């Protein structure tokens, strides 16, 4: 006759399973915390590089014009208009947010060289890079823009205006798009608390909803929102943490109009 497991044996198995689950959870938490710490460190390094570039050349990286000949005649340059972007319909051929990273390297301020991979010739409409106005260009992580430590994310630069504020923002977006949610509310809150004031609307770290749909039921990054944007009473909302709808922008330079 076959003997079944005793209560003691079953209890032992359950304890072992619980310990294994607990250790896996702890491991994931440790990995995520390390990724958050590295993201903060790299954000700070890029901010320092940006400030040194401004001090040296009196232009933003990516926007410096060819008339300066700062990096030789064979390099691509921006148009020197004070914005790191290429607006829709612009006749100027280079997407300056890609040049931003290349010129930081050429100035000796970041180690890795970003080649633009041909995408410096893409048009920029304020959110995306296009071959034509109907085709979204890819965002090659680690080739055209820096790969960020958090999973499936890149660092990108965006000249972004909201609430009559002119912001040069170093942001985190998903690989494939510039203006896209990259992290869930818990990671966003951890980044904001460690880097800034812990609130999505105030301070130097500004968070918006990437997608404005289904915020009431499944896609919310913070409370008390106004469409995609936080209000003065917004707080990070952990209800839907598995939805990575938090698009975070760290303000490098800001002017109130």
Alpha helices in 75-225 (DSSP H): 96-106, 185-195
pLDDT recorded at residue 213: 81
pLDDT recorded at residue 160: 64
Query: Percent of the chain having pLDDT more than 70?
Result: 68
DSSP letter at 167 equals E
- Assigned token pair, 111: 């180690």
Say if CB 126 and CB 147 are below 8 A apart. Answer: no
Which of 90-99, 127-136, 160-169 is predicted least confidently?
127-136
161, pLDDT greater than 50:
yes
Rounded to 5 degrees, what are φ and ψ at 49? -65, -40
Rounded Cα–Cα distance for residues 93 and 96 (Å): 9
Residue 4: HSE in the Cβ half-sphere, 13 Å Cα cutoff? 3
Rounded Cα–Cα distance for residues 123 and 136 (Å): 10
Query: In sequence order, what DSSP letters do the residues of 63-110 get, joined into one string?
Result: T-BGGG-TT-TTS--B--SS-SS--TT------HHHHHHHHHHHTTSS
Rounded Cα–Cα distance for residues 174 and 140 (Å): 11
133, pLDDT greater than 70:
no
pLDDT recorded at residue 227: 82
Here the contacts of 159-165 (C-beta below 8 Å, separation 24 or greater) are: 159/83, 159/84, 159/85, 160/249, 162/208, 162/229, 164/256, 164/257, 165/254, 165/255, 165/256, 165/257
Average pLDDT over residues 123-132: 46
Query: Percent of the chain having pLDDT more than 90?
Result: 30
Counted residue by residue, the chain has a size of 257
Rounded Cα–Cα distance for residues 31 and 40 (Å): 14
* 3-class secondary-structure state, position 112: coil
130, pLDDT greater than 50:
no
pLDDT recorded at residue 166: 59
Q: For residue 253, what pLDDT band results from cuts at 50, 70 and 90?
A: confident
Q: How far is CA 67 from CA 8, 47, 87, in A?
A: 81, 25, 21
pLDDT recorded at residue 136: 43
Highest mean pLDDT among 124-138, 148-162, 192-206: 192-206
Helices (H) and strands (E) in the chain, counts: 3, 8
190-246, pLDDT tens digit by residue? Answer: 999 999 999 999 888 999 888 888 888 888 899 999 888 899 999 999 998 888 889
Kindly report the pTM of this predicted structure.
Answer: 0.79
Rounded Cα–Cα distance for residues 96 and 86 (Å): 6
pLDDT recorded at residue 13: 62
């Amino acid at each position: 006759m076959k003997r079944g497991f005793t209560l003691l044996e079953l209890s032992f198995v359950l304890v072992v399973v619980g310990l294994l689950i607990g250790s896996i959870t702890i491991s994931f938490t440790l990995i995520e915390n390390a990724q958050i710490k590295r993201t903060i460190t790299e954000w700070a390094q890029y901010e320092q590089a940006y400030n040194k570039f401004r001090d040296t050349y009196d232009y933003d990286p990516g926007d410096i014009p060819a008339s300066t000949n700062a990096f030789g005649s064979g390099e691509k340059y921006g148009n020197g208009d004070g914005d790191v972007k290429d607006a829709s319909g612009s006749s100027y051929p280079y997407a300056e947010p890609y040049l931003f990273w290349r010129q930081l390297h050429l100035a000796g301020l970041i180690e890795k060289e970003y080649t633009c991979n041909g995408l410096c010739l893409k048009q920029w409409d304020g959110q995306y890079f296009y071959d034509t106005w109907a085709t979204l260009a890819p965002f090659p992580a680690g080739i055209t823009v820096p790969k960020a430590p958090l999973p499936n994310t890149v660092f990108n630069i965006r000249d972004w205006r909201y609430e009559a504020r002119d912001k040069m923002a170093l942001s985190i977006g998903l690989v494939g798009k510039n203006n896209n949610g990259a992290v869930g509310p818990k990671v966003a809150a951890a980044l904001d608390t460690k880097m800034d004031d812990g609130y999505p609307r105030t301070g130097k770290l500004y968070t918006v909803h990437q997608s404005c749909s289904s915020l009431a039921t499944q896609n919310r990054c913070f409370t008390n929102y106004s469409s995609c944007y936080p209000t003065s009473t917004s707080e990070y909302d952990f209800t839907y943490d598995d939805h990575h709808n938090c698009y975070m922008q760290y303000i490098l330079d800001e002017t109130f109009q």
